[in-house]
Amino acid sequence: MRLSFAIASDHRGVQLKRVISEFLKSKGYRVEDLGTGSEESVDYPDYALKAAEAVVQGKTDYAVVICHSGIGVSVSANKVKGIRAALCHSVGQAEYAKKHANANVLALPSGFVEPEVAKEIVSTWIKTDFEGGRHERRIGKITDYEKRNQSL
């Protein structure tokens, strides 16, 4: 089965989004580009939320969201119930994002990582397996909290 990815960015992340989208396609993955397509100013939550929703709705397996700092898109994506978005500046962070947190959304900071490093981050995140065990218990606590506090 071929993995699928939603990918989205604001105007400051559009160039890196194109690089990562082409990188994913070159590896044989299905990519759904959810915008933006230009460098005209837009609001990052509009795009990060679409990508996160694609994951929880089962339209894609994972999502990559990008803005200048990565902070805005990661905060936005994490507002969607069931999302574990991780902002990664390094390959090591990407490994632990999947290994320990089973992150289903990767947030990238276009202003702080070069495209080649971003590709390495994405590649590591994809190929790393979730360890389970004590980490499964911890993720379960997050899921339980989401269930108990739906109205918050």
Alpha helices in 57-133 (DSSP H): 71-77, 91-99, 115-127
Name the residues annotated as catalytic. 67, 100
Q: What is the pLDDT of residues 125-134, one digit of tens each?
A: 999 999 999 9
pLDDT at residue 96 is higher than 80: yes
User: What are the domain boundaries of the chain?
Assistant: 4-148
Summarised one tens digit per residue, pLDDT across range 39-81 is 999 999 999 999 999 999 999 999 999 999 999 999 999 999 9
Structure confidence by residue, pLDDT tens digits, 3-34: 999 999 999 999 999 999 999 999 999 999 99
CATH 3.30.70.20 is right for the domain spanning 4-148: no
Amino acid at position 76, single letter: S
Give the chain's mean pLDDT: 97
Radius of gyration of the chain (CA): 14
Q: Which helix (H) or strand (E) holds 82?
A: none
Residue 113 carries which DSSP code?
Answer: S
